[in-house]
Structure formats: C-alpha cells, structure tokens
Structure 1
Amino acid sequence: MDYSVIKEGDLFFLTDKQGDVTGNNDQGHGLYTKDTRFLSRMELFIDGEKPTLLSSAADRSYFASIRLMKDRKDEGAIELHRERFIYGGVLYERVTVTNYFPKAAAFELAASFAADFQDMFIVRKYRTGEVGKLLGSEAGERQLAIRYQGADNLLRETRIGWDLEETERDADGHVRFALSLEPKETKRICFYIAPVLEGQPPLMFSFEEGLKRLEASYAVWSQETTRIASDSDVFNGLYRRGVQDLRMLMTDVGYGHTTVAGLPWFAVPFGRDSLIASLFLLPLQPEQAKGTLRTLAAHQGTTTDAWRDEQPGKIMHEIRFGELVNTKQSPFGPYYGSVDATPLFLVLIAEYVRWTGDLALVEELKPNIVRALEWIDSAAAAGSGFLTYHQEAEKGFPNQGWKDSSNSIVHASGGYAASPIALSEVQGYVYQAKNGLASVFEAMGESGLASKLAREAEALRARFEQAFWMEEERFYAIALDRDGRKVQSVTSNPGHLLMSGLPDASRAGHVAERLVAEDLFSGYGIRTMSTKAAGYYPMSYHNGSVWPHDNAMILLGLSRMGYKKEAGKVISSLLEASRAFEYQRLPELFCGHDSSLGHPVPYPTTCSPQAWAAGTSVVFLQAMLGLHPNALTREIAIDPYLPEGMDELAAERIRIGSGYLSLKVTRGVETGSGFEVQVLENTTGFELIHSSKEREASKA
C-alpha cells in the first residue's frame, strides 16, 4: 500500500508512508470520524526541510512506527521515530528525536497542522454541496484549537496538544521547538489530537497509559476468539493478520459491536458487508453477530422513500454521518440500495442460531424478521416471482447486488442487462433464509410459520432451477433481466448458491467443477467472470478480478456440500496469493491475471484492510475442519480436509452453544490421505459426527 492507516472505534488516520498529511493532498489523507476530516494537515520539518523516510511499519493493525532522518553527508543525522495509535477517540503520536552526529547539534523541529472539516463525500469527489464555514483557530499554551460551524448546525472542533514547551506557535497551525542534543541524546514530544463534536472532549491519557489500555483490549479479543496452530506458516500468518484486522475494524454506533466495511473510505457499518463479515466470524466469535443484527434492525426501512431507495422492511445498504447527509444533500443516512442485505440479514440470524442456540435473540428481533420477510415476498410478488432490484434514487446505485458497479451485469452479447434484475445468488440467499428460519421457528413451537417458510423455499427452488440453469454451460446464469431473459455470462455469483443448498444435487457438482476450471480459476482464486465472457477484463472491479470474500462465500458452500478437493484448491491458491501483499493482508480485490505471471497483480484502488477479506482466513479454518454445527439438533458435523502443504491443524476454543470445541486434524501418515481427528475439548454437550460425504470418501 502507498499509505499508512490505523483505526480504533469511530476514528481513523490515513497518511502517506512518512506519516504526514500534506496540505492540499489529492489522496484524501487525514484524521476522520463521523465521515468528517478533522485533520487535513500534519507535517514534521527539521530546520524547515522534510526528513527522509527510512522505514514505515504497521504490522500491528492498531499501531504505526515510522523512522525518518535528516542527515548531512557522512557526518551524521538527526533521526525521528514517529509512533502512533488511537484510543478513546484521541490520536496519540510520540516523536522521539535522536542526535546521531558526533557532536552536539542544535536544530528546529516544527509541526504544521490544519483542519478543513470536509465531508468524506467531498474529499472523495463523490458529491458536492452547500457546507459550513471555518470559525478560525486559537493558540494557547501547548495547545491549538480549530473550529468549524457546519451547515447542519453542528459545531466541530479539532483540539491539538503537546507535552513539550514550544519556542513559537501561531493560530495558523505552526508549532516550533528549538532543540539542542548531545551525541546520542534523545528527546521525546507527544502530540494529542482529539476531534470534538458539540464541545464534548474525550478523556485523554498519557501516551504510555493509552497504549497499555489499547493493547489490553486486543489481548482480551485474542483470549475470546478461536486460536489456531498449524504446520503452515503462511496460514498461521494470514489467520493472525485477519483476526487482528477484524478487531481493528470493529465499531459501535449504539447497538453493539459490528464491523465496518473497510479502510480508508468505508469506515462505517454496511448492510451486506457487515452481514457477510459477521457470517465469516461465526467460528471465531459468534457473539459478535448480535451487534451487527441489532444495528441493522435499528435502521430497518419503515417507509417508502425513493430518495433513499427505502421500503418498509428493507435492510440498509450503508449509513453515513457527515454534513451532506445531515443536511439531506446525500441519501446515505441511511441508504437502502441493496437487494441482498435483507435476505442476508435473515441468513445470519438462522446461522447464528445454528452456532449458539440463542432463540432469545430471535424473539427479540422477530418483528424485524417478519418485516424483512414481508418485504422479500412483496418485492418478489410485484415482478417475476424472484427478488429483483431497480434503482429509484437519483443518486443511488444502478446495480444493487454485491457487484454494484454499473457494468457488472453483462449479457453474452456484451450489452448491459436492463432492470429490474433478478440475481442468481440473491435467490439462493432467500432460499437459505427461509429454510433456516423454518427450522428456527419449528424449534420455537411455531409450526405453522415454519411449514409456510419451508413450502415457499421449495417452490422458489423449483422456479429457480427452471429459469436460471444454462444447459449448454452446465452452470447457472448470473441473473434474469427485466424481460426474464437469462444473462448468460459465466460468473462467480452462482458459486454462492452452494452455500444456500439450493442447487439440485445433479447440478451442484457441475457448478463446483466449473468454479475451479481454467476460465474461472486464475490460480490465485476464482475470478468474478469467466475469461470466455464478453465482458471479461482482468483489471476491472467486478468483471474478471479476484475478490477474497467472494471466494470465501463459495468455500462455505464447497465445504457444506462436501467438495473438499475443490475447496482445498481455492484455499491453496489464496494462501499463495497472500504472500505477495503487505503484512500478508488479503486486500478487497486484486486483478484476475493468470498465476503463470508468478505473482498476483494488485488492483490500483483497493481498500485494505477490508473486513470481509480479513474474515476469509476464518472461513479457511471452517472449511478445512468441515465444521458445521447445529445447536437445534445438538449435533456438530465435521468433514476435514487439509490443503497441500499442510499436514496438521489445531483449533482451540471454538465457541458452539454454551461451550467450547477444540480439535486437532492430522493427515494420515502412511497413505498421505485421510485425516485423523483428535477431540481436545468438547464442553458443548453436542454430538460430534462425521458427515455422510466423509464416510463415502473414506470408503472410496
């Protein structure tokens, strides 16, 4: 990445590799909260010059360490070590200055600050609008305050403090320190930067105390999540990175912790993204799903509003909190242009219950569940009998599945499909939601509702098989257009159907086989579109690129349906790809070029870290264990398969029901195939069973 980013809670800080936010930068660097940039400049100078970068590291998701120097030929140098983190709504930065000249050195260290309070949409050049005005700056002893009166009548303020007496400061944001150091002498300056809304400053600590508290919170997260050990260093590294990034990407907007979509531009709760990330998180920490479900339930649609693509019962796509949203110049407060968030909301509820048995949450959210089902049924009944989307909001999205770019639904002729559009994977989500909830409501004693949902799911399956199957391709169409015609491009979307269990058994095998065939499989993962399709373009956002989360959704299905070799191939390919990315962090997406190039090709504007990409490593764990619990039947199915290069995998403290399961899987020593399972702990009270497909494979 050509940037450095850290985040904690609602606050994130995006800088260049030197750790600076330069004035008038085009990359959107700055300190953000509530979709507002509270710091638009933060630069360090020595004697009026920018120091040279030595190293820039953020291997700990929450902590950045940057080394700079100002040298004089071969005589020596002044080194600056910048260390930063965020805690409790405050950015802490400690600058350690060391004299590496052989004699005493006197010099000026200067810091320049500014805040423009721009709305995130304006920074990204995504929207324009009427905004407020700067009220000016005020410099005090070891502090500086910059204030802004928004068009939404909110007073915003950036408070900057430091702990070393300065020699000069001014209201224009310049602070200067005259330093004199003996050889190898060190001096430290700590800066504290706090965004303030409506005059409520956060509690501040010393640098050391703030870091101690932050690290303690990560230690708690580590203790509460599933731990792994394997003989594959690349998997161990990817898993540790993913678990740490998922903690970094947590936020709470009032209803419990949920993941934001990703950094830097999507640091807010989303419908689809947060739901899928929570689905991936179930083997890591199933309790986290409650915060996501409650957050989305609180913002469920209540009225018909074309401005926001809102309808009663619909689950939001995205929520923003900036000035343009507050003044209704943007429809994102929240915006509802997502066709899949509502069925995924129901899928997550049903899957959460399978892991936890927590029917109390279902009872709590039952009104939201009923309204979501009513929206799905009314939307489907109004058209072809399938759940479709059509853009209503002028400033909304023309495509409203996860491939939401305007060119992502392409006919074999190369023309774009006209809406209303019925996406294949969305019908699978609806099928999975109704089937899953049927079991849940049966367990709650509501047999009538359970039977109704089961019948509706089976009727949907029959309609879907007839309408979407492409016999000549032995694969499902990505979508139906407004005339009910198949969009006959081969894409990754139907791979999600395996997770839902919708495909007929005779067709599921063809789907699994095609997903890892040469035209869809790059060698670094499954592409979003076949190389044979008219719309294929490996550098596109959705038409030939590789998305880790897309592969993970497919993996859940491959694992559930017993296609272990195909799952192993996908896992091995993405593990290999992860080696090429900074900190072994799988990005949002990368280009779909063939692996014969010898390395994955980065996508130029990808977000990283991204929650559902970080959660992919947890899906790897679930798929390798073949782990599928059902708290309603008090059974835990396992069907292990280790990919090439891994002979041993242990997972400790997997939370299922009210207890824990710990397992160790070992590849058969003599034959090199077959897997031995050792149960290290099982306090769940559930029966552990091998799936039928595992028994069939053992016989074979």
Structure 2
Amino acid sequence: MKELVSILDGNTFLVSDRRGDIEPSLDFPTGLFAFDTRFLSSWLLMLDGERLHALSIDDAESYRTRYFLVPGEPNHFLDTKVSVIRSRAIGDSFDEELTVLNHSGQEMTFTVRVEIGADFADLFEIKDTQRKQGHHTVRIEQDALRLTYRREAFHRETVVRSSAPAAVDKMGMTFSVRIGPHGEWTTRLKVSTVIYGARGEDVRTRLPLAGSRSTTAIQAEHAEFVTNAPKLGCDCEPLAGAYRRSLEDLAALRYESIALGVRLMAAGLPWFMTLFGRDSIITSLQVLPFLPEIIPPTLTMLAGLQGHRLDDFRDEEPGKILHELRYGETAGFEEQPHSPYYGSADSTPLFVILLDEYERWTGDRQLVEQLESAARAALAWIDTYGDLLGTGYLWYQTRNSRNGLENQCWKDSWDAISYSDGRLPSFPRATCEMQGYAYDAKLRGARMARLFWNDPQYADRLEREAAELKERFNRDFWLPEKEYYALALDSDGTPVDALSSNIGHLLWSGIVDESRAARVAEHLLGPRLFSGWGVRTLADDQGRYNPIGYHVGTVWPFDNSLIAWGLWKYGFRQEAGQICESILAASRYFAGRLPEAFAGYERSLTEYPVQYPTACSPQAWSAGTPLLLLRVMLGLEPEGEHLIIDPYVPHGMGRMELLDIPGRWGRVDALGRSRTREEE
C-alpha cells in the first residue's frame, strides 16, 4: 500500500498519496469525504502532461498540508528548472493553492492540468464496489465544474472553482501558464461539498458552527482545546510528544452531528469518522480527567438514540446503546443497518460506567439525574435482552443474519473469538470482558441509585446481583488447569479457552477474585502475551495467532491503556508501569501518534513496532491512550470532593508534573518522579 497523507477537520477529511494526488483505491478510502460520502474520487495534478514527485511534505497540523513537488523522479542529479508548491486546508470547504515557480533566468510556459472526478461513493462501497443506482451529472460553468449525484431524495454535490482563468471540461481544468524569469504563478482551487436536505439547502447550514470553519477559526479552536487541557511538564520526551499529539488529534476528531448539532468525537480516520458507542465511551473515560467538558454531549446523544423497540435489521432492543451511526446513502436506503446500528453488546454497560465515572470526577449530579431513565433502561437491558440464555451472563448474537456483526464485543472481526486450537465457537457467545463491564455497571448503578435517584432498594438489588455475578463468573470462566480466565463461553456454556488480552479488562472492571489477580497479571506480562511493545490481543501460542492479524495478535494501544488501569486498580503498580513504558516507547516510532493497532512481533526481533497495514490514524481511543497512561502513572483517583494523587512513575522516565487537573475539587496539580532500582 502506498504511504498516504490525510488532513481532517471534524467529519470532513481528505486522504491522498504523498504528492497530494487522489486516485480511486479499493485498498484504502482515498478521496475527499464528508458524512460518509466521497465528494472527490480523483484529484490529479500534472505539469506539461507529467505527474509530479514529492521532495518534502509539511503536515504538522491536522487541517492543512503543504507539498513541495518537482517533475521527474527526484535523484542525486536533480537540476529542475521548475517546482510546484501545493498548499491545502480543510474547513467549510477544501481549498488548494497551486504555485508554480520558474527557477530559470528565462520566461517559460507550462500547461497545468487538474483532473477531477467524484463518484459519490458511500464509505461502505469503497471495498465492496457496487453499481450506483442514482444519476450522475457534470455541468461546466465559468471557471467552475459542478458534479452532482441524485438518488430520489438523496442529493449530493461537488463544486470546484478556480481563481485563475481555466479551460474547464467534464474531466477537470487546464491552465495555460506563462511565467517570467524567476517568477511564479498561483491559482486557488475551492472545492465545496453540498449535502442537500428536504428543503433544498445544505443541512449543515443549520448547525451552530456553520460558516465559521475558516482556517483561522479552526486554528483558534484547536488552540483553545489544547489550552483548556492540563499542562504537562516531564523529562520523558516520548510522553511529552504523545500527549501533545493526542490533544491535537482529539481536537481534530470532533465534529458536529447533523442530527442534534452538538460536538461529538469521531472514532477514527478513515473508516470511522462518526459516532460509535463503544469507542466514544472508552475515549471519554480516557480523557475525562483532562477534558471533562466533552463528555456530556456524548452521553446525551447516546441516551437520545437509545434503543426503544425490537428491530432485527438494526439489532435494536429496548435500552440498548448504539454501536454506530452513519449518514451515507447505503444507510439512508437501508442497504446497511447503520441509521443507527445497535450491534454491540458492551456499549450498554459501558454507558452506565461512564455516567457514574463522570459524576465522580465532576460532581455534576444534574446530568446523572437527567439521564436516570436511560441508565435504568441500560441496566434493565443487561438482565433481559442481554441475557439471551437466561444464565445470568451477557451474551450476543446478531438478529440480522444478512449484514449484522457476528462478534459484538470490541474484538468484532469474524475470527476474533476462538478456542486455543483455533476453532470458532457457536453462537450466542458471552465474552469474559463483557461480564466484567456488566458487574461494574451494576455497582455504579447502585451508587447512583443510592446517592441521586433516591432508590435504596434498587441499589441493594443491583449490589446483590453484582456479587452473585462475580461469584458465578469466577466459577464458570476460570480455567484451573491453565490458571487464567476463558476468553468466552460458547452456546453450551463451554469455556472458550484462548489466552487473550481480554483478561486485562477484567482487572479494570474489578470482577477478578483477589486470589487470582496475581496470576492474571503474570499472564499479561508473560512472554506469550507481552511483546515488549505491549500486550498482544492473542497469545503467540494460540491456534489463530497472527502478529499482523486484526484482533488475533496485534497490539492495540487503547486495550493496553485499560489493562494498565486494571493492573493499577489491583495494586500491580510496577506491571502497570511496564505497559505504560512500552506503549510510550512505541509512540516514538509513530511521531507521537499511536495508531489503531500495530504488529505483535517481539520487541527484540524487530527493534521497532511494525505498522499494521490499514490501521486508523488518528483514532480517538488511541489518541486517548497517553492520557489514561498518565493518569495511571500519577495515580489519580477521585475520592469524594478530593483527588487522590499516588504516583508510581516507571524507572527512567524521570520527573512529570500535570498542572490544573479539572474536577469537582476545582483545579489541582500532580507531581511524580521515577523510582530508583532500589525503591522498586
């Protein structure tokens, strides 16, 4: 796969090759996208009929990029008389400034050509090419090209305009350029995307920030976002770089929902630039100590779209929290069930966990009271529709046999849940970490019921159910001969005995019996699961292990952040620090931006973390990972009106201080330093 470059602002993003060109690809969604539709599928720059090559790229900021280009293949003997600078930015539109520079002492003439195309593909159609059922039109206007797609009420449009005179045809624009000695020529290309609504206007014009997405406004908004976060000072360069990069990426991943006009966090570029239940909740948990103001819109949106009926097509059930919300053509015409889709069994208990954790940090009882009915409905779903077999466990099996997700846990690829010998279990399935989430949700629901909902009887019941679940779980999921928890139970109640990273989530939830916690920690940091760069999703001696398999051997930064948090909760501070060090060390090789996943090869084998070929980057819960790791190392935990600070900084990381940590206590500072070998 070619190395790609992306720019983004909220739900609009562009992915191109390293010279700035866009060509249709089945391997990766290159193009200009907004709300799940590709508005540019071709954008090729040529000089005198020749493609250009990149000398350098300036992509330090998420929403703008500059390419420095020359004709011909760059080599040691390059002596070009002309170069091109391609400057682009995303805001309310996609803007590109082309500058051609004549480096010779003579006047020169050039033909500049931009080939333009828009297939208006839905994101779901990129890998699964389908024949579009709507109608494409192309209209030539003065110095502008208008490309339109209609399918009944679905109406999208791309308009390209140039500041310099151009010969416009249905395939693009051509410029005849004459440049004096050591002179330059410039044109500005403006690409407007239009999402028409029922009233014949762009539906985004009704959003609060409509018309304000200039480069200057975006820069100011990102700066304010970063400024509002606590200030980090530390001796560990990888931590400093990852923290700064994470804040910048989180700022860029926010978008305005068409449905409610609130700012939400998209899950990741390029495949997941929309609201996800699980991803949004876990990201919120990671960033809560740093940016608590972004949490209420997410909780409110998820509650507003909570399931209220039985709908097999969407896997919807009363009380269930959504998995994914899409705005594209296939969702609109119900060719995909994502409007929204409810195919995750873990987002519902995670919703309750986030609501309680948010109040513990902020003291915002008003939101807990406002969302009481949604939280109660979520807790009820766990014991009704979630317990498919009536065994007291949380199970999943899709209602949509045609295009529903088979696996509805966080490892949702088709082969992610397997026995140790590689066989796949039957449905329904009950993965171990979901039982931990349900346990934690019940305890947190009990706390909210007792403190805010004035229902002590309900609180007592939830606490009793949580205790029973913990006892039952430690009986049925523990594998005595292997001394770890099964990955899942199959439909017969037989343990699915693979050794996986999921057991780390069990520590985070608190469902692990204290007597077994040390053995779980040993497995997590043992050679089968721990690569040296992090905990693998699947141990390297399991039947389906593959170091570059999506959920069967790669290392996921977010997964490791929850594992570190869980180890910390059970008092394994050194082990938690080991994971923090490994993930932060890996971040150096990704310029501070942790990807969705990277390969599970041994650290001693590769000496650097190997990229996973199609990993999302940036991705929200990977961007949130350094923040949660920082919380773990500084030992931050709310206790009533106070913040407990109990640092354990891994050896060699030196001093770290986090200033102005927001919460119900106002703002406080946390300080920590590495322990010496003797102290460890």
Q: TM-score range by the shorter chain?
A: over 0.9
Residue identity in the other structure for 1:525? G
The answer for the alignment partner of 1:553 in structure 2 is 562
Secondary structure of 1:247 counterpart? helix
1:108 to 111, 116, 133: 111
State whether structure 2 residue 482 is matched by structure 1 residue 473: yes
Q: Unaligned stretches of 5+ in structure 2?
A: none
The answer for the alignment partner of 1:663 in structure 2 is 670
State whether structure 2 residue 491 is matched by structure 1 residue 482: yes
The answer for the alignment partner of 1:405 in structure 2 is 413
Give the C-alpha shift of residue 302 in structure 1.
Answer: 1.2
The answer for the alignment partner of 2:451 in structure 1 is 443
In structure 2, how many angstroms separate the alpha carbons of the residues matched to 1:492 and 1:308?
29
Secondary structure of 2:50 counterpart? coil
Residue identity in the other structure for 1:213? A
**What does residue range 640-655 of structure 1 map to in structure 2 within 5 Å?**
640-655=647-662
Asked if structure 1 preserves the Cα contact closer than 8 Å seen for 2:28 and 2:614, the reply is no
Q: Relative to 1, partners in 2 of residues 1:667 and 1:594: Cα closer, same or farther, differing over 3 Å? A: closer
Residue identity in the other structure for 1:614? A
Give the C-alpha shift of residue 216 in structure 1.
Answer: 0.5
In structure 1, how many angstroms separate the alpha carbons of the residues matched to 2:201 and 2:28?
30
In structure 1, how many angstroms separate the alpha carbons of the residues matched to 2:669 and 2:365?
24
Residue identity in the other structure for 1:354? R
Secondary structure of 2:33 counterpart? strand
Give the C-alpha shift of residue 672 in structure 1.
Answer: 5.9
In structure 2, how many angstroms separate the alpha carbons of the residues matched to 1:23 and 1:117?
11
The answer for the alignment partner of 1:84 in structure 2 is 88
**What does residue range 570-581 of structure 1 map to in structure 2 within 5 Å?**
570-581=579-590
Secondary structure of 1:180 counterpart? strand
Q: Relative to 1, partners in 2 of residues 1:19 and 1:660: Cα closer, same or farther, differing over 3 Å? A: same
Asked if structure 1 preserves the Cα contact closer than 8 Å seen for 2:379 and 2:441, the reply is no
Asked if structure 2 preserves the Cα contact closer than 8 Å seen for 1:131 and 1:324, the reply is no
**What does residue range 237-248 of structure 1 map to in structure 2 within 5 Å?**
237-248=241-252
1:604-645 Cα offsets, whole Å, 9 max, x none, are 221111111111110111011010113xx2232222111232
Residue identity in the other structure for 1:654? I
In structure 1, how many angstroms separate the alpha carbons of the residues matched to 2:31 and 2:296?
32
Asked if structure 2 preserves the Cα contact closer than 8 Å seen for 1:39 and 1:113, the reply is yes
In structure 1, how many angstroms separate the alpha carbons of the residues matched to 2:212 and 2:366?
42
State whether structure 2 residue 348 is matched by structure 1 residue 342: yes
1:543 to 552, 562, 578: 552
In structure 1, how many angstroms separate the alpha carbons of the residues matched to 2:332 and 2:434?
32
Q: Relative to 1, partners in 2 of residues 1:377 and 1:255: Cα closer, same or farther, differing over 3 Å? A: farther
In structure 1, how many angstroms separate the alpha carbons of the residues matched to 2:261 and 2:346?
22
The answer for the alignment partner of 1:428 in structure 2 is 436
Give the C-alpha shift of residue 523 in structure 1.
Answer: 0.4
Which segments of structure 1 move beyond 6 Å, counting only runs of 4 or more? none
Asked if structure 1 preserves the Cα contact closer than 8 Å seen for 2:642 and 2:664, the reply is no
State whether structure 2 residue 71 is matched by structure 1 residue 70: yes
In structure 2, how many angstroms separate the alpha carbons of the residues matched to 1:376 and 1:656?
30
Secondary structure of 1:387 counterpart? coil
1:606 to 605, 615, 618: 615
In structure 2, how many angstroms separate the alpha carbons of the residues matched to 1:117 and 1:408?
32
Q: Relative to 1, partners in 2 of residues 1:128 and 1:76: Cα closer, same or farther, differing over 3 Å? A: closer
Q: Relative to 1, partners in 2 of residues 1:75 and 1:492: Cα closer, same or farther, differing over 3 Å? A: closer
In structure 1, how many angstroms separate the alpha carbons of the residues matched to 2:381 and 2:671?
44
The answer for the alignment partner of 1:274 in structure 2 is 280
Q: Relative to 1, partners in 2 of residues 1:175 and 1:81: Cα closer, same or farther, differing over 3 Å? A: same
In structure 2, how many angstroms separate the alpha carbons of the residues matched to 1:217 and 1:140?
35
**What does residue range 1-400 of structure 1 map to in structure 2 within 5 Å?**
2-22=3-23, 27-70=28-71, 76-88=80-92, 90-125=93-128, 128=130, 131-134=133-136, 136-151=137-152, 153-166=153-166, 168-170=167-169, 172-198=170-196, 199-200=200-201, 210-253=214-257, 254=260, 256-378=262-384, 379-380=386-387, 382-394=389-401, 395-400=403-408
Give the C-alpha shift of residue 579 in structure 1.
Answer: 2.1
In structure 2, how many angstroms separate the alpha carbons of the residues matched to 1:129 and 1:139?
25
2:595 to 587, 610, 613: 587
In structure 1, how many angstroms separate the alpha carbons of the residues matched to 2:318 and 2:562?
28
In structure 1, how many angstroms separate the alpha carbons of the residues matched to 2:673 and 2:320?
45
1:128-177 Cα offsets, whole Å, 9 max, x none, are 4762111x2222233221111124x22211111222233x222x042122
In structure 1, how many angstroms separate the alpha carbons of the residues matched to 2:131 and 2:597?
31
Secondary structure of 2:589 counterpart? coil
Answer with 1-10 or 29-38: which moved more: 1-10
Secondary structure of 2:358 counterpart? helix
Q: Relative to 1, partners in 2 of residues 1:480 and 1:26: Cα closer, same or farther, differing over 3 Å? A: closer
Q: Relative to 1, partners in 2 of residues 1:208 and 1:502: Cα closer, same or farther, differing over 3 Å? A: closer
Give the C-alpha shift of residue 479 in structure 1.
Answer: 0.8
Asked if structure 2 preserves the Cα contact closer than 8 Å seen for 1:75 and 1:101, the reply is no
Answer with 174-183 or 106-115: which moved more: 174-183
In structure 2, how many angstroms separate the alpha carbons of the residues matched to 1:590 and 1:666?
29
In structure 2, how many angstroms separate the alpha carbons of the residues matched to 1:97 and 1:564?
57
The answer for the alignment partner of 1:513 in structure 2 is 522
Q: Relative to 1, partners in 2 of residues 1:38 and 1:130: Cα closer, same or farther, differing over 3 Å? A: closer
Secondary structure of 1:192 counterpart? strand
Give the C-alpha shift of residue 70 in structure 1.
Answer: 2.4
State whether structure 2 residue 625 is matched by structure 1 residue 616: yes
Asked if structure 2 preserves the Cα contact closer than 8 Å seen for 1:76 and 1:102, the reply is no
1:94-144 Cα offsets, whole Å, 9 max, x none, are 22222222322221222121111111111221x74762111x222223322
The answer for the alignment partner of 1:638 in structure 2 is 645
Give the C-alpha shift of residue 75 in structure 1.
Answer: 5.2
Give the C-alpha shift of residue 271 in structure 1.
Answer: 1.0
Q: Unaligned stretches of 5+ in structure 1?
A: 675-696
Q: Relative to 1, partners in 2 of residues 1:315 and 1:129: Cα closer, same or farther, differing over 3 Å? A: farther
Report sequence identity in percent.
38
1:264-316 Cα offsets, whole Å, 9 max, x none, are 11111111111111111112201211121112112111111111111111111
Asked if structure 1 preserves the Cα contact closer than 8 Å seen for 2:642 and 2:665, the reply is no
In structure 1, how many angstroms separate the alpha carbons of the residues matched to 2:223 and 2:656?
23
Give the C-alpha shift of residue 76 in structure 1.
Answer: 3.2
Residue identity in the other structure for 2:43? M
Secondary structure of 2:242 counterpart? helix
Count of residue pairs brought into register by the alignment: 662
Residue identity in the other structure for 1:154? F
In structure 1, how many angstroms separate the alpha carbons of the residues matched to 2:414 and 2:348?
21
Asked if structure 2 preserves the Cα contact closer than 8 Å seen for 1:307 and 1:331, the reply is yes
Give the C-alpha shift of residue 61 in structure 1.
Answer: 1.9
In structure 1, how many angstroms separate the alpha carbons of the residues matched to 2:533 and 2:62?
25
TM-score by length of 1: 0.91
Q: Relative to 1, partners in 2 of residues 1:187 and 1:382: Cα closer, same or farther, differing over 3 Å? A: same
Secondary structure of 2:441 counterpart? helix
Give the C-alpha shift of residue 91 in structure 1.
Answer: 1.0
Asked if structure 2 preserves the Cα contact closer than 8 Å seen for 1:46 and 1:70, the reply is yes
In structure 1, how many angstroms separate the alpha carbons of the residues matched to 2:10 and 2:585?
32
Q: Relative to 1, partners in 2 of residues 1:530 and 1:108: Cα closer, same or farther, differing over 3 Å? A: same
1:559-581 Cα offsets, whole Å, 9 max, x none, are 22221110111111112222222
In structure 2, how many angstroms separate the alpha carbons of the residues matched to 1:546 and 1:318?
23
